[in-house]
Structure 1
Amino acid sequence: MLETVLEKPLQSQLAMRSQAEKAFRQMFENTCQAIEQLDGTKFVEQPWHRDSNGLWVAGSSSDNTDDTIYIDRALHNGNVFEKAGINYVSLEGTLPPGMTLQKSGALSTAEADHTTSSEGTPFFATGASFVIHPQNPMAPTVHANYRYFQVKGGNQPSYWWFGGGADLTPAYLFEEDAAHFHRVHKEACDRHNPSYYLRFKQACDEYFYIPHRGESRGIGGIFFDHLKEGSFEELLAFVTDCTEAFIPAYLPLVERRKDMPFSEENKQWQRIVRGRYVEFILTSDRGIRFGLASGMVNQQSIFNCMPALASWEYDDQPAPGSPEAMLREVLKSARGWA
């Protein structure tokens, strides 16, 4: 595969980059539009650019010397969603001298690291990221992120791959919701490779796990990284199908749960579950570490994905036999849903 990529002319590599940008920007715009329609509230948008020192500065570049497209969108205290943090990025950067992809926290391989340089490694990356926290504790939080990465060698990228996935984090478990979310993603996977869903579900279960708690962050979904098995066109078609599956996999669940009655005790449990979400981001999320180390992620985007309110209680064990206890038990071990 590496030899095949190196043989492709520069124009083909630029076309690969452009096609990936288009797919993720389309997901970004379509998802924002669907959320605004359901909520009745508009996102607030904040573009960013990097100054001559490489520091993130609010606003678009005025001198057109920075080709970076970096857009954060935020929705706070909407009618349906308490907080939604959404991001689109397309940028070129350089890994710091001596830093390999693995050391930076990226899920990668020794083969990819052979393309890095002790003097700093140029790269291109594009992707879209979504973290959505509903108001109603009966509606689940969701995360999705899809990305494309090129390591540049000389005049041509020398290595490329896709990564991403989507996973569900309910505060109250409705098995039909979990089954729906997984089924829609399984259908997207099955259209391309019958082995994808089980592989990527297992990877999701393994990755979104909180070791110090001995439990999963949520009830999973799909997750993959360093995906380069097959042609670029085949993999782009698969990833595009995954991006298009996100809205029908998630928004019907919110429609179903957003008007259910709930108590302050239910809301407090939602905040405790959100606390676990924060713990994972701060202690276990390798993507965040890579984004900060490489300069790909602006720190404001990290806080944009955090819940507006989270809570921690000492020895937060739910009452035996309660819905909260049932969720906690499910999170102790992965199970099948689709």
Structure 2
Amino acid sequence: MLEILEKVEQPVQSQQSMLVRTEKVFKRMFENVCQAIEEIDGTQFQEQRWTKDENCEWVEGDNNGITYIDMALRNGNVFEKVGINYVSMQGELPPGMTFQGSDVVMADPANGMPSGKGTPFFASSTSVVINALNPMVPTAHVNYRYFQVGDGTQPGSWWFGGGGDLTPIYLFEEDAVHFHQVHKAACDQHDPTFYPVAKKACDEYFYLPHRGECRGVGGIFFDYLQDRDVESLFSLVTTCSEAFLPAYIPLIEKRKDMEFTQQHKYWQRLRRGRYAEFILLHDRGVRFGLTSGIVNTQSVLNCMPGEACWNYSDQPIHGSQEEKLLEVLRNPREWV
């Protein structure tokens, strides 16, 4: 009988341990990125902490069970706007709210609204969006997350998601190659078949169908990842999260002091308009976070570009560097 109990309890213990360990990994990533950005820029972030009140509304402050931190840097020496978010929280989903994969599903009101307690959940993540002043420095985005419903022992009740991707304003092919090489090396440490799948998923996910363009030159992306044991996936996600800084920081150092014109800045604002379009129209992660109440609207706005613009006709001149970028965004490449 003891042997049977041990077999039943072990997954619960493993999943409980995963909560603490994912918190540590994502908090370490959060702190390391913040430190790296401050060192390059010479400017400190502004910090804002959030919690929830008795009506489950987001308010400023701290609370046991919720660690929610927004870091914001605006108009620095190198960066125009950087938004970094870390969250670790345990709570209850509203009665009638469930998940199909990482999509939120609500109970049908026609069948009567459910009452009583909701389902316990745990969520932990770090999300980063970096926009530089110099248009030659590419925008970068990275997010890694872990989500668990209940004690995590039921099939489909836990998963990892995330990845990192690069959005150049002006295309430097060697930058795209470096970014992909670092991420491929991280993936290959655990599974040589993972990078091609995650790279393809990134190109397909960060896509604006109404434009016929990818958002950038990609990287890696995965969602609802639970296709093997939790320890293997935790190790993979940890290594991938550690790959972002060596993949991106050298590109900042290489491009931040390059000369640029007001025409370059205009193109930068147009491309940031595309970035905003994706977040507002197509980002499932934003929709999931807002619908479930796990994400604060202010955090979404903190990660939006500081300046963006739109024009009725914004097609670049034939043969220009701007057209070169669009050609790659419309026809994704294999970089490594």
- TM-score, structure 2 length as denominator? 0.91
Query: Which of 286, 293, 296 is residue 294 of structure 2 equivalent to?
Result: 296
Report the counterpart of residue 286 of structure 1 in structure 2.
Answer: 284
Report the counterpart of residue 33 of structure 1 in structure 2.
Answer: 35
The answer to whether structure 1 residue 14 and structure 2 residue 12 are counterparts is: no
Q: CA deviation at 1:14?
A: 1.6
Q: 1:262 is aligned with what amino acid?
A: F
Distance in 2 between the 1:147 and 1:5 partners?
28
Distance in 2 between the 1:26 and 1:5 partners?
32
Query: Which of 171, 184, 187 is residue 186 of structure 1 equivalent to?
Result: 184
Note the residue ranges of structure 1 that are not aligned, 5 or more in a row. 109-116
1:225-244 map, 5 Å: 225-244=223-242
User: What's the Cα RMSD here?
Assistant: 2.0
- Conserved 8 A contact 1:104-1:294: no
Query: Which of 214, 217, 227 is residue 215 of structure 2 equivalent to?
Result: 217
Aligned residues: 320
Distance in 1 between the 2:235 and 2:290 partners?
29
Q: CA deviation at 1:6?
A: 6.5
Query: Which of 79, 82, 85 is residue 84 of structure 1 equivalent to?
Result: 82
Identity across the alignment (%): 60
Q: 2:226 is aligned with what amino acid?
A: K
- Conserved 8 A contact 2:199-2:220: yes
- Conserved 8 A contact 2:11-2:153: no
Report the counterpart of residue 265 of structure 2 in structure 1.
Answer: 267
Q: CA deviation at 1:104?
A: 7.3
Query: Which of 40, 48, 51 is residue 49 of structure 1 equivalent to?
Result: 51
Note the residue ranges of structure 2 that are not aligned, 5 or more in a row. 1-5, 106-112
The answer to whether structure 1 residue 328 and structure 2 residue 334 are counterparts is: no
Report the counterpart of residue 95 of structure 1 in structure 2.
Answer: 93
Q: CA deviation at 1:7?
A: 5.2
Q: CA deviation at 1:234?
A: 1.6
Q: 1:14 is aligned with what amino acid?
A: Q
Larger mean Cα displacement after TM superposition, 117-126 or 128-137: 117-126
- Conserved 8 A contact 1:99-1:118: no
Q: 2:253 is aligned with what amino acid?
A: E
- TM-score, structure 1 length as denominator? 0.90
- Conserved 8 A contact 2:91-2:122: yes
- Conserved 8 A contact 1:82-1:133: yes
Runs of 4 or more above 4 Å deviation = 4-7
Distance in 1 between the 2:176 and 2:287 partners?
29
Distance in 2 between the 1:290 and 1:123 partners?
14
Q: CA deviation at 1:157?
A: 4.9
